[in-house]
Protein backbone atom coordinates (compact mmCIF):
# COMPACT_ATOMS: atom_id res chain seq x y z
CA UNK A 1 0.00 0.00 0.00
CA UNK A 2 1.46 3.39 -1.01
CA UNK A 3 2.39 5.91 1.66
CA UNK A 4 0.07 8.98 1.92
CA UNK A 5 1.57 12.11 0.32
CA UNK A 6 1.86 13.98 3.62
CA UNK A 7 4.17 11.21 4.89
CA UNK A 8 6.58 11.24 1.92
CA UNK A 9 8.25 14.61 2.52
CA UNK A 10 8.29 15.22 6.26
CA UNK A 11 9.90 18.04 8.27
CA UNK A 12 12.87 17.15 10.44
CA UNK A 13 15.05 19.33 12.68
CA UNK A 14 14.83 23.10 12.15
CA UNK A 15 18.14 24.54 11.00
CA UNK A 16 19.65 27.96 11.71
CA UNK A 17 16.39 29.92 11.94
CA UNK A 18 12.64 29.63 12.29
CA UNK A 19 12.36 30.00 8.50
CA UNK A 20 14.59 27.05 7.69
CA UNK A 21 13.57 23.43 7.99
CA UNK A 22 15.38 20.30 6.96
CA UNK A 23 13.09 17.81 5.18
CA UNK A 24 13.35 14.02 5.03
CA UNK A 25 12.26 12.20 1.89
CA UNK A 26 10.60 8.88 2.70
CA UNK A 27 10.05 6.02 0.26
CA UNK A 28 6.59 6.45 -1.30
CA UNK A 29 6.09 2.67 -1.47
CA UNK A 30 6.99 1.58 2.06
CA UNK A 31 7.74 4.71 4.13
CA UNK A 32 11.39 3.81 4.76
CA UNK A 33 13.72 6.71 5.56
CA UNK A 34 16.63 4.75 4.09
CA UNK A 35 16.55 6.58 0.76
CA UNK A 36 19.75 6.85 -1.21
CA UNK A 37 21.44 6.51 -4.56
CA UNK A 38 21.54 2.72 -4.11
CA UNK A 39 23.14 2.13 -7.53
CA UNK A 40 26.14 4.12 -6.24
CA UNK A 41 26.38 6.06 -9.45
CA UNK A 42 28.40 9.26 -9.56
CA UNK A 43 26.29 12.22 -8.41
CA UNK A 44 26.25 13.72 -11.90
CA UNK A 45 24.42 10.61 -13.17
CA UNK A 46 21.85 10.51 -10.34
CA UNK A 47 20.60 14.09 -10.64
CA UNK A 48 19.73 15.36 -14.10
CA UNK A 49 18.69 18.88 -15.07
CA UNK A 50 16.24 19.17 -17.94
CA UNK A 51 16.20 22.49 -19.80
CA UNK A 52 13.34 24.98 -19.61
CA UNK A 53 11.07 24.09 -22.52
CA UNK A 54 7.39 24.89 -22.84
CA UNK A 55 6.55 21.24 -23.52
CA UNK A 56 4.59 18.98 -21.20
CA UNK A 57 7.43 16.59 -20.62
CA UNK A 58 7.94 16.63 -16.85
CA UNK A 59 7.10 13.34 -15.10
CA UNK A 60 4.82 15.30 -12.72
CA UNK A 61 2.97 17.07 -15.54
CA UNK A 62 4.60 20.49 -15.28
CA UNK A 63 5.82 22.61 -18.15
CA UNK A 64 9.31 24.00 -18.38
CA UNK A 65 12.55 22.91 -16.75
CA UNK A 66 12.90 20.38 -13.98
CA UNK A 67 15.47 18.49 -11.95
CA UNK A 68 15.16 14.72 -11.57
CA UNK A 69 16.93 12.77 -8.83
CA UNK A 70 16.79 8.97 -9.16
CA UNK A 71 16.66 7.23 -5.79
CA UNK A 72 16.01 3.85 -4.23
CA UNK A 73 15.11 2.79 -0.70
CA UNK A 74 16.82 0.03 1.26
CA UNK A 75 13.89 -2.28 0.39
CA UNK A 76 14.60 -1.87 -3.35
CA UNK A 77 11.77 0.50 -4.36
CA UNK A 78 12.98 2.81 -7.12
CA UNK A 79 11.54 6.28 -7.62
CA UNK A 80 12.43 9.75 -8.86
CA UNK A 81 12.18 13.00 -6.89
CA UNK A 82 11.21 15.81 -9.29
CA UNK A 83 11.57 19.55 -8.74
CA UNK A 84 9.81 21.54 -11.45
CA UNK A 85 9.72 25.25 -12.21
CA UNK A 86 7.71 27.14 -14.78
CA UNK A 87 7.43 30.93 -14.77
CA UNK A 88 7.97 31.19 -11.03
CA UNK A 89 5.69 28.31 -9.99
CA UNK A 90 7.60 25.66 -8.06
CA UNK A 91 6.42 22.05 -7.81
CA UNK A 92 7.85 18.93 -6.22
CA UNK A 93 6.71 15.38 -6.82
CA UNK A 94 7.69 11.75 -6.45
CA UNK A 95 7.08 9.23 -9.24
CA UNK A 96 7.83 5.55 -9.68
CA UNK A 97 10.97 4.96 -11.69
CA UNK A 98 9.93 3.01 -14.77
CA UNK A 99 12.88 3.41 -17.09
CA UNK A 100 16.27 1.85 -16.36
CA UNK A 101 18.32 3.77 -13.82
CA 90, 41, 6 angle in degrees (round to 5)?
Answer: 35
State pTM to two decimals.
0.76
Residue 79 falls within a domain, yes or no?
yes
Domain count across the chain: 1
3-state secondary structure of 77: coil
Q: Which domain holds residue 63?
A: 5-96
Quote the CA–CA distance of 63 and 51 in Å, as a whole number: 11
User: Per residue in 70-90, pLDDT tens?
Assistant: 899 999 899 999 998 877 788
* Dihedral (Cα; 75, 96, 90, 9), 10-degree rounding: -30
Domain contains 88:
yes
pLDDT over 60 at 60, yes or no: yes
Looking at the domain assignment, is residue 101 inside a domain? Answer: no
Task: Kindly report the backbone phi and psi dihedral angles of residue 67, in degrees, each rounded to the nearest multiple of 5, phi listed first.
Answer: -115, 135
Amino acid sequence: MPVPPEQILVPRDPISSVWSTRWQLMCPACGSDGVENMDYKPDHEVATVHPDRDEYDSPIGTRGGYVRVDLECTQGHGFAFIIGNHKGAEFVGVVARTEPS
